[in-house]
Structure 1
Amino acid sequence: MNTERNDNDVADWWSTEIIDMEPGKIFFRGHAIQDLIGNVSFPQMIWLMTRGDLPSEGHAHLLEAALVAAVDHGPQAPSIAAARMAVTCGLPLNNAMASAVNFLGDVHGGAGEQAVELYLEIDAAGGPDHAGDVIARWKAERTNYMPGFGHRFHKPVDPRAPRLLALVDAAAAEGEIEGKFAAIARAVQDELSRGREVGVPMNIDGATAVIFAELGFSAPLARGIFCLSRSVGILAHAWEQTQQGGRNKGPTPPAYRWTYTGSARRDQDA
């Protein structure tokens, strides 16, 4: 066993292509921080950090639209509720945000990532004409739930989806993107709506997934970027709750009780 040590053992322990730094100098992906500050938007910075290069203005505009669209969905959303409850338990904003982001898993927060996976499978299968076959396989192998389509609250249409798709269509018309994933998503929508009196429209997750897929983001990054977006709403709600006050607020007002389904109460004196 080789026990020889050298400086590279330490330097290579956390090797990275993201940041280079020494006293008085900071470079992100080769760009000096002073050149980025004031010249690069936050969406562009997200792209640079995760992808390694700077996006075009058109690509950055689409990414920004996806970020703006998903910032919040009200205090009834589990992640937002968690942030508000956390601050009433005395946690500072950063802890409340961390608690909330940890709620963003496969069920609450993962649909965008899953929709990107679905679109990529359809693309690999040959495109929109194969949407039906891929959907059938998805339902057989994964779940009957189709991520990115339908909404339990917004009926008949999630107002965010048409606007995002309009921006995608405009970017495709300008040659910024191919538009193939928009076509795939619409094919999924048509397939899911076939034979139904009321269709199954695309929702926010399905529409942002179109943008992420068109821009070449991997499926896991789609969820990561969604977390960045939703963190804005989480912060806003946590801060608002801090201003409103309240202590140890649970998910329902104290006067409301849960439904007990256990054993009947026992008379200890019997």
Structure 2
Amino acid sequence: MKSAEDIVQEAKAWWTTEIIDIHPGKIAVRGYPIEELIGNISFPQMIWLMVRGDLPTPEQAGLLEAALVAAVDHGPQAPSISISRMAVTCGVELNNAMASAVNVLAGIHGGAGQQCMEIYADVARRMDAGEPIGQAVELALDAWVAENGKVIPGFGHRFHPIDPRSGRLLALTEAARDKGAVSGRYVDIGREVERVLERRKGKRIPMNIDGATAVIYAELGFAPELGRGLFILSRSVGILSHAWEQHQQGGRIKGPMPKSIPYTYAGPARRSLPPQD
């Protein structure tokens, strides 16, 4: 028979966290009083503190912020954004519209950054095992294609011949490397992937936003699984802004296309139901 004290201790241990400590009149995040954090650290620094447990250097915080800024939006043709707008016209609240949008940020739409980080991590493991970078990239790409198909996440873009965001992000990462804030290892890996893909395809397949943010998040030491979470934090800003804009514009039950543009029906021609016995 458990004592009352045993039951209380079991209940207290049910949720164990190192993230936050709350008592009446007191809130501490990773040991820092919340009143000391407010007004003294930025939102990207707070994200880092919450996820990583410590405070980033100014250079690390700047890189994280740059990656978050770069991926906030890509227009209403992006499925997650259009879903948020359609949801609003169905009469739901902003939080429901945002949740509907975030829920489609999965492997195909929204998952490329995490997947690219997984490729970079595989390359890094092979380099640690003694493979030169070129061979490590070749082997990692072969392994990815064998398991997932020919599309290499983080490279090429269906809309942009050259993604205007990636060059700026890489330049910032290289500047941080020159200051000793990051190692530059994943910059080299990302550029080598680009070179290998160009050799394989016979044309340049430039790094896109997902490949560039994957470089930054990997340089900053984030696990690949966190890559998608960080992307969702970033894209949620665009989702919110589009949902709010649609709310202000009004409209009822807007579908993916104007009603003047029909869908394609490919089923049987109109027919009568056979006589029933």
TM-score for both structures, normalised by structure 2? 0.94
Q: What is the CA RMSD across the aligned residues, in angstroms?
A: 1.4
Q: CA deviation at 1:143?
A: 2.0
Kindly provide the amino acid, as one letter, of the partner of residue 29 in structure 2. Answer: F
Where 1:67 maps in the other structure, the secondary structure is helix
1:210 to 209, 215, 230: 215
Q: CA deviation at 1:137?
A: 1.7
Where 2:21 maps in the other structure, the secondary structure is strand
Provide the C-alpha distance between the structure 1 equivalents of 2:30 and 2:246, rounded to a whole number of angstroms.
38
Where 1:49 maps in the other structure, the secondary structure is helix
Deviates more, 1:186-195 or 1:60-69: 186-195
User: In the alignment, which residue of structure 2 is the partner of 1:198?
Assistant: 203
Where 1:234 maps in the other structure, the secondary structure is helix
Provide the C-alpha distance between the structure 1 equivalents of 2:58 and 2:80, rounded to a whole number of angstroms.
32
Kindly provide the amino acid, as one letter, of the partner of residue 103 in structure 2. Answer: N
Deviates more, 1:2-11 or 1:65-74: 2-11
Kindly provide the amino acid, as one letter, of the partner of residue 146 in structure 1. Answer: I
User: In the alignment, which residue of structure 2 is the partner of 1:250?
Assistant: 255
Is 2:233 the partner of 1:228?
yes
User: In the alignment, which residue of structure 1 is the partner of 2:29?
Assistant: 28
User: In the alignment, which residue of structure 1 is the partner of 2:182?
Assistant: 177
Kindly provide the amino acid, as one letter, of the partner of residue 148 in structure 1. Answer: G
Q: CA deviation at 1:133?
A: 1.6
Provide the C-alpha distance between the structure 1 equivalents of 2:25 and 2:273, rounded to a whole number of angstroms.
74
Provide the C-alpha distance between the structure 2 equivalents of 1:43 and 1:119, rounded to a whole number of angstroms.
23
User: In the alignment, which residue of structure 2 is the partner of 1:159?
Assistant: 164
Report the count of equivalent residues.
268
Is 2:194 the partner of 1:189?
yes
User: In the alignment, which residue of structure 2 is the partner of 1:39?
Assistant: 40
Q: CA deviation at 1:267?
A: 4.2
Is 2:94 the partner of 1:89?
no
Provide the C-alpha distance between the structure 1 equivalents of 2:200 and 2:152, rounded to a whole number of angstroms.
17
Deviates more, 1:219-228 or 1:258-267: 258-267
Kindly provide the amino acid, as one letter, of the partner of residue 185 in structure 2. Answer: K
List alignment gaps of at least 5 residues for structure 2: none
User: In the alignment, which residue of structure 1 is the partner of 2:15?
Assistant: 14
List alignment gaps of at least 5 residues for structure 1: none
Is 2:149 the partner of 1:143?
yes
Runs of 4+ in structure 1 displaced over 6 angstroms?
none
Q: 1:44-96 deviations in whole A, cap 9, x for unaligned?
A: 00000000000000000000000000000000000000000000001111111
Deviates more, 1:139-148 or 1:66-75: 139-148
Q: CA deviation at 1:196?
A: 4.3
Q: CA deviation at 1:255?
A: 1.8
Kindly provide the amino acid, as one letter, of the partner of residue 248 in structure 1. Answer: I
Q: CA deviation at 1:128?
A: 2.3
Kindly provide the amino acid, as one letter, of the partner of residue 252 in structure 1. Answer: M
User: In the alignment, which residue of structure 1 is the partner of 2:269?
Assistant: 264
1:195–1:141 distance in 2 versus 1, CA, 3 Å: closer
Q: CA deviation at 1:179?
A: 0.2
TM-score for both structures, normalised by structure 1? 0.96
User: In the alignment, which residue of structure 1 is the partner of 2:81?
Assistant: 80
Q: CA deviation at 1:14?
A: 1.1
Provide the C-alpha distance between the structure 2 equivalents of 1:151 and 1:20, rounded to a whole number of angstroms.
44
Q: 1:139-162 deviations in whole A, cap 9, x for unaligned?
A: 11222110100001001x100000
